[in-house]
Amino acid sequence: MEIAGSETGTVDLKVSEVAGSEIIKTAFYPELPVAPGITGRLAAGHSGDLVLTVGASGAAEGTTVAPSVELRGDAAADQIPPATAAALSGTPGLDGWFISAVSVRLTASDSGSGPERTFYRSSAAGAWQTYREDILILAEGTHEVQYFSVDRLGNEEPIQRLEIKIDMTPPEVLVKFTPGKAPVTYDGADALSSTTAAVGFQETTWSDAAGNKTTLAFGGGSSPAAASTTLRSVTYGHGAAVFFPENFFSLQWRDSVFEPGGIYLRFAMAGGLTFESRYSDADNETTATVTAGERDRLRVFWKGRDLPWIRLKRRFKGV
Ligand SMILES: [Ca+2]
Ligand SMILES: [Ca+2]
């Protein structure tokens, strides 16, 4: 038998010996290089086995190519692709999320010829790689791992897809206030999913969809003309509550006593850092003053009533 190349590429060749209606032997030659002018010859060798030689058209002798596998019996008739199972290791959160890095172990099984190789890629557009060891996924976010296996006779499993969602970061909290309306609000925000808030008496816990939690305890109160709040502690993720001294973070607001419609706002934070701002209704101007210790002072002002807010960044280390 002769095979002639017409284009450049590779071809998988499977040769079976049939006795009656049964396949008794199969030889598999994966990824044979082919090109115009190249001919493959399949002929009986000295022992009676088929031998594949590949060479230039018209040449007397070509190069003998060994099959990747030669199988007899039931395995020789294998046309069933393998099946690959994925096992995930990590710390599960809620709703299908993991709250840790995740490792993926792939295990191929095959009836007949047996599994040959497993391929994977950890993004839908990435290059296929040969699976050799657990796939480690460290980054937060939603990932798609694709994989499939081939058996020793080249039967290929359809591509399987696995979605892995990782969120290791508890929500952040925004402290905001709107004078005269809801003077102080604490809002949870999460980069990866929504947050839900469980509001208690001067304590609120925000949870993201994965179940990571941030808890703030605070004191204070508000009325239409004045508000104050003092941060007492933050509990971030599985860490212990970090308690703050009395003046670590506090906010006071009141209608200005100096002029109708004016506003006075003061934040105080650890290390003697204070942030004061005044809004003058007559000038329609906000002045902000930052003071750090006795001497360092920075004053800025801008038009309009655009009062500052403070954002507590994640990874709060404490005092
Ligand atoms: Ca198989
Ligand atoms: Ca999160």
Among 7-16, 74-83, 180-189, whose mean pLDDT is lowest?
180-189
CA of 92 to the centre of ligand 2 (A): 13
CA of 22 to the centre of ligand 1 (A): 17
CA of 69 to the centre of ligand 1 (A): 13
User: Mean pLDDT highest for which of 35-49, 173-187, 205-219?
Assistant: 205-219
CB 151 within 8 A of CB 82: yes
Least distant ligand from the CA of 79: 1
User: Mean pLDDT highest for which of 105-114, 166-175, 214-223, 283-292?
Assistant: 105-114
CA of 27 to the centre of ligand 2 (A): 53
* Position 270 confidence tier, pLDDT thresholds 50, 70, 90: low
Residue whose pair of structure tokens reads 């703030």 in the numeric block: 216
Least distant ligand from the CA of 168: 2
Least distant ligand from the CA of 97: 2
Extents of the domains making up the chain? 2-77, 83-166, 172-312
Least distant ligand from the CA of 193: 2
CB 291 within 8 A of CB 310: no
The pLDDT value given to residue 57 = 76
pLDDT in tens, 146-175: 999 999 999 999 999 999 999 999 998 887
CA of 167 to the centre of ligand 2 (A): 5
* Position 181 confidence tier, pLDDT thresholds 50, 70, 90: low
CA of 128 to the centre of ligand 1 (A): 21
Mean pLDDT of 212-231: 79
Q: What residue ranges in 138-256 does DSSP mark as E strands?
A: 141-151, 160-166, 172-176, 185-189, 195-200, 203-208, 213-223, 226-236, 242-243, 249-255
pLDDT over threshold 90, residue 206? yes
Least distant ligand from the CA of 116: 1
Mean pLDDT of 32-54: 82
CA of 30 to the centre of ligand 1 (A): 15
CA of 63 to the centre of ligand 2 (A): 60
CB 304 within 8 A of CB 283: no
The pLDDT value given to residue 182 = 55
pLDDT in tens, 58-112: 777 788 888 999 999 889 999 999 999 999 999 999 999 999 999 999 999 998 9
CA of 149 to the centre of ligand 1 (A): 10
CA of 105 to the centre of ligand 2 (A): 25
Stated pTM of the model:
0.70
Q: How far apart are CA 80 and CA 151, in angstroms?
A: 9
Report which of residues 312 and 47 the model is more confident about: 47
CA of 238 to the centre of ligand 2 (A): 13
CA of 136 to the centre of ligand 1 (A): 28
CA of 156 to the centre of ligand 1 (A): 8
Domain 83-166 has CATH 2.60.40.10: yes
